[in-house]
Structure 1
Amino acid sequence: MSLFVRRPPTPFSRSKRRYHSTPIACAGGRPSKTLTGRSTPGRRKSFVQTVEPSLELPELELWRETFPYSAMGLKDRVSVKNPATADKLAKSFVYWNWNKMDEKKEPSNVKEYAEESEQQEANADLESELEPGNGKGKVIIEAFPGPGALTRALMRLPEERVRKLIVLEDDELYYPWLKLLEKVDPRVHVIDKSGYSWETYEVIEELGLLDDVKKQPWEQVHDDLHFISHIPTNIMGEQLVSQFFRCIPDQQWLYKFGRVPMSIILGARMWKRISAAPATQDRCKVSVIAEATSAFAASLPPSRLLPYEEHFHPAFVRENRTGKEKHHGPLISINTLPLAQQVIDTYSLEKWDFCLRRLFVLKRTAIGKAVASLAPGANTLIKYLSDESSLPPKERLDLTKAINEMTVRDWSLVLKAFERWPFAPEDLLISDGFNDDRDDGKRSQSTLASPR
């Protein structure tokens, strides 16, 4: 039996002030409570509204006073506050040319962000009709909206683009500012639930809010459902983004409806890890999984979201350990779309997890040498990877490549060899007490209990 390494409960900003542990193994390969792990009751934190919630959000200079992030532990709950920026983000998400993005048929290196000319082409003629086959607008699920500047921007779009807006927010500071919107727009449905919880998405279906959303063939882009979210700038937010990509191969979560587009606003650091190309410093397990499952690009050039303080809340300065001022980092808005042709086969994610975690610990080591770390006797895999007598050239792997230089195609060859190996370990749970998701070639104490 594998031993799971657990960490002490870590606080996470929610209105009910719950505490979260890390992901654990469970039936069906998903956490039983949240997208990133279990949650257990914690100390409830009281809050008293100092400003009466209204349909109109306060002036920008009053956000810090109206939404006191320090008192409520909401420093990591970033959200757009500038209404002009919110309008640009909403249009860059909803009017995005998803069919053009779908032209990417297989994993490849991505640019840091879409060029200005591409943005103009993707967002050209914003008042045009929807893609053929859908003239009724999309159902949009928005998570972690904060006070709702982006929510209000989505509401300003015509019904031909947005026919229903399902808003998920359970923080008692933000929820009242959102609930009022239901009274002025019948398209809006605000649910007092967190975007982290699996139960939330089940509740959405139980309420009948997705009854008019049909499952569509995986070969085509789903034109009727769209997920949009701010991502908290903490470790739980990073795990959540990773989980989004991990749901794709087995078509779990919203992907059971098909290739649902996703638009998220996240920290630049996480974006670098997602989009890191082979042989770069930030290349890691998340980079490989994201590239193997999705096409993605920034919806707006990052420069349009700078400086941070003019566009987002909370805007604060704190001192780091060296005594220097530390500002909230820049944010990136990205659009992602699952690939029609998935490299990771259905129900094989555990094997990919196992190989990626074991090998990325030795990210600067050649694969021919590092492969032995997979399991006792794993040197046998070299034959399955490079045997000239039995493998055509396109199915052979360059054994001198370092782990962080390997492409998705290279990783698929490793997994193919691993599946052919008759002595491959059956227990693929990572339980050695280390987490290499923050890959720097060194081991660090684990907070992860299971590769699932």
Structure 2
Amino acid sequence: MPPRPRLPPLPPSSKWSTHFPARYLPVSPDKNTIRKTFGRVLVTNPSLADKFVRAMGIREGEVIVENYAGVGGLTRSLLSGGDAVGEAKKWIESQSSVEGGSGESSPKTKTAKSFPRWIDDIAPSGNGAKKSNAQPVTAEQPESTDITLVRPKLVLASEGSAELITRAYDYPASSLTPSVKFTIQEQLKGNLINSDLTGTTYHAVPVAQSSHDPSLLLSHSTVYIWPTLPALLSDPLVSPHLEVYDPAAPPGPQATKRPWDAEPPKITMVCQVPDSPIGEQLVAQWVGSAVGDLGQERTWVWQWGRVRMALLVGKSLYDRIMAKPGDLIHCKLSILSQALFDITPLPPYHHVRNVDKQSKITTDRPVKPSSKVPKSSIPPVGLPPSNPLQIPVDLPKTTTYPTDFFPLPKTATSGPLPRPTLLGLMMTPKRESPILASQKDAWDYVMRRLFVRDTLTLGEGFSNLSFGAASLLPIIESETDEYRGIPVDRRRVVRELEVEEWARIVDVFDKWPFKPDNLILDSSNNEEFSREVGQD
């Protein structure tokens, strides 16, 4: 029986800058209309990638859409279900048997465009020997492989850099995104995206079958463009692999979509998020787009139900998502993420309680309450049962090294990093959340305004919402069933407010007849609209 087709292992991380120059990382599918994505960081260590994938808990029949796939280090772990290290050994052994079994040299002859072009860096060392220079393991050794690994049904790797996807995946040049634009109306014919985007334009989203692994599809595209993910899931090469939810619907993407309260689909969105303001804006948009009510028709990937997201993010973004009330870095993103998603840390681990705003400290710090009064103990009104974020006390700290990431992080030592450059998160949308779709803009407005000075008490900062807003404080403090959430004492400090308290503040403000007519703060610019993020 012939060996299963598989991608060749990547070269040692010391060779990445030779075969995959860092200058290709920010490149977009079209330099004229899509801005570059700076701050990209990739995991180079296959052992580290395997730990991340195993902790994800891949389910039977899983379809994984990997965004910002880079050169495929994480892709190889995903395809193997978390055994990229073992797959690399099998690939090398198969090459050794080809060389040693017939007494002939390897059939691969390196040319300028051969694949893999790094063959000399991973080739067996002659005469069927199994020694190789393939990517070494530099972090902690992988866990025992005695556990049963589950391979996904399909992995779709999306990468915006034409040079990287061609070099790293052997992507066919004929499938590269053309420099032409397709109108939204043309895409609507295939029921790929929502009609509320009519009039805007974006690039076609190509999908091609990998010639090296039957479970791998490739796409020269970027999630920087908002409709990309729905288009990928609706592609004729992807849609047949998705579980059919509505057998009565016509065959195709529509039959695979499901309501929010259905069982979550076996779809996972994976991303090595750029460690930059662009990456943070993307995640904030993904989080905010999950707002909705039961029975409401959803948009974006949420048309397929509660799609989970497995993310590798920079320290600053991780800390803001995971910050708890009272933490120095607690913010609007913390509240929205924890209100809308069940969040679990994934490897690499290194959670720091009450971290500083620059995410520089590496050890826990105690939280010193500033409010003169505690949170109200009255049961909340009109909210689903809460499931607060829980961080395991015994959560380990993963040891990583500069060579575990590409480009190399700026550090003065080659020893262990004080904290991993990227940290893992699994974010699964909650069935019910305390944020009503009709109040989404109100939540955004109130939190932005109050977090401008988060060390003030509610009473001190409330006038920042609008002229005359202070008159609402007695209502917010009252024990009434007329408003959602729980009463909030005006002496409570903004940074320490919990989601039940925010629900009361927002509900009272939203029902105020004199609230501002326009609650959408003018924090956007032309670049925001050009990249289409947020059109949900």
Query: Aligned-pair distance for 1:164?
Result: 1.2
Question: For 1:394 and 1:215, how far apart are their aligned partners in 2?
Answer: 32
Query: Equivalent residue of 1:315, what SS?
Result: coil
Q: Are 2:426 and 1:335 equivalent residues in the alignment?
A: yes
Number of residue pairs aligned between Structure 1 and Structure 2: 343
Counterpart for residue 153 of structure 2: 163
Query: Aligned-pair distance for 1:65?
Result: 2.2
Describe the shift of the 1:350–1:367 C-alpha distance in structure 2 as closer, same or farther (beyond 3 A). Answer: same
Counterpart for residue 184 of structure 1: 212
Q: Are 2:438 and 1:410 equivalent residues in the alignment?
A: no
Contact 2:80/2:151 (8 A) holds in 1: no
Q: Aligned partner of 1:244: which letter?
A: W
Q: 1:297 aligns with which of 344, 367, 372?
A: 344
By relative contact order (CA 8 Å, sep 6+), the higher-ranking structure is 1
Counterpart for residue 48 of structure 2: 85
Q: Aligned partner of 2:406: which letter?
A: H
1:339-350 correspondence runs (5 A): 339-350=430-441
Q: Aligned partner of 2:453: which letter?
A: L
Describe the shift of the 1:151–1:340 C-alpha distance in structure 2 as closer, same or farther (beyond 3 A). Answer: same
1:40-51 correspondence runs (5 A): none
Describe the shift of the 1:173–1:316 C-alpha distance in structure 2 as closer, same or farther (beyond 3 A). Answer: farther
Describe the shift of the 1:337–1:71 C-alpha distance in structure 2 as closer, same or farther (beyond 3 A). Answer: closer
1:87-236 correspondence runs (5 A): 87-95=50-58, 130=59, 135=60, 137-157=61-81, 161-176=151-166, 177-179=168-170, 182-208=210-236, 209-211=238-240, 212-213=242-243, 214-236=256-278
**Percent identity between the aligned chains?**
24
Query: Aligned-pair distance for 1:419?
Result: 2.1
Describe the shift of the 1:248–1:202 C-alpha distance in structure 2 as closer, same or farther (beyond 3 A). Answer: closer
Question: For 1:308 and 1:178, how far apart are their aligned partners in 2?
Answer: 26
Q: Are 2:473 and 1:385 equivalent residues in the alignment?
A: no
Describe the shift of the 1:380–1:308 C-alpha distance in structure 2 as closer, same or farther (beyond 3 A). Answer: farther
Describe the shift of the 1:194–1:393 C-alpha distance in structure 2 as closer, same or farther (beyond 3 A). Answer: closer
Describe the shift of the 1:393–1:352 C-alpha distance in structure 2 as closer, same or farther (beyond 3 A). Answer: closer
Structure 1 unaligned spans of 5+: 1-53, 96-129, 320-325, 436-444
Counterpart for residue 491 of structure 2: 400
Contact 1:249/1:349 (8 A) holds in 2: yes
Counterpart for residue 393 of structure 2: none
Query: Aligned-pair distance for 1:165?
Result: 1.0
Moved more, 180-189 or 277-286: 180-189
Contact 1:306/1:330 (8 A) holds in 2: no
Query: Aligned-pair distance for 1:202?
Result: 4.0
Q: Aligned partner of 2:43: which letter?
A: V
Q: 1:68 aligns with which of 21, 30, 38?
A: 21
Q: Are 2:314 and 1:361 equivalent residues in the alignment?
A: no
Query: Aligned-pair distance for 1:426?
Result: 1.6
Describe the shift of the 1:263–1:339 C-alpha distance in structure 2 as closer, same or farther (beyond 3 A). Answer: same
Contact 2:484/2:507 (8 A) holds in 1: no
Contact 1:141/1:227 (8 A) holds in 2: yes
Describe the shift of the 1:226–1:383 C-alpha distance in structure 2 as closer, same or farther (beyond 3 A). Answer: same
Contact 2:259/2:303 (8 A) holds in 1: no
Question: Over residues 334-358 of structure 1, what are the superposed CA-to-partner deviations in whole Å (9 max), with x where a residue is unaligned?
Answer: 1111111111112421111111111
Describe the shift of the 1:195–1:263 C-alpha distance in structure 2 as closer, same or farther (beyond 3 A). Answer: same
Q: Aligned partner of 1:171: which letter?
A: S
Describe the shift of the 1:356–1:308 C-alpha distance in structure 2 as closer, same or farther (beyond 3 A). Answer: farther
Question: For 1:392 and 1:352, how far apart are their aligned partners in 2?
Answer: 15
For the aligned residues, what is the CA RMSD? Answer: 3.2
Question: Over residues 192-212 of structure 1, what are the superposed CA-to-partner deviations in whole Å (9 max), with x where a residue is unaligned?
Answer: 001211232243145222353
Describe the shift of the 1:304–1:182 C-alpha distance in structure 2 as closer, same or farther (beyond 3 A). Answer: farther
Question: Over residues 248-274 of structure 1, what are the superposed CA-to-partner deviations in whole Å (9 max), with x where a residue is unaligned?
Answer: 113432122111111000011111111
Q: Are 2:424 and 1:424 equivalent residues in the alignment?
A: no
Q: Aligned partner of 1:210: which letter?
A: S
Query: Aligned-pair distance for 1:305?
Result: 4.4
Query: Aligned-pair distance for 1:221?
Result: 4.4
Q: 2:326 aligns with which of 279, 293, 317?
A: 279
Question: Over residues 212-261 of structure 1, what are the superposed CA-to-partner deviations in whole Å (9 max), with x where a residue is unaligned?
Answer: 34233433541421111100111000111111111111343212211111
Describe the shift of the 1:237–1:247 C-alpha distance in structure 2 as closer, same or farther (beyond 3 A). Answer: same
Question: For 1:391 and 1:258, how far apart are their aligned partners in 2?
Answer: 32
Q: Under a length normalisation based on structure 1, what TM-score does the superposition of the two structures give?
A: 0.69
Instruction: Flag the structure with larger Rg.
Output: 2
Moved more, 82-91 or 402-411: 82-91
Query: Aligned-pair distance for 1:278?
Result: 0.8
Query: Aligned-pair distance for 1:89?
Result: 1.4
Question: For 1:156 and 1:390, how far apart are their aligned partners in 2?
Answer: 53
Contact 1:308/1:315 (8 A) holds in 2: no
Contact 1:139/1:162 (8 A) holds in 2: yes
Q: Are 2:402 and 1:309 equivalent residues in the alignment?
A: yes
Q: Aligned partner of 2:50: which letter?
A: D
Query: Aligned-pair distance for 1:429?
Result: 2.2
Question: For 2:480 and 2:500, how far apart are their aligned partners in 1?
Answer: 21
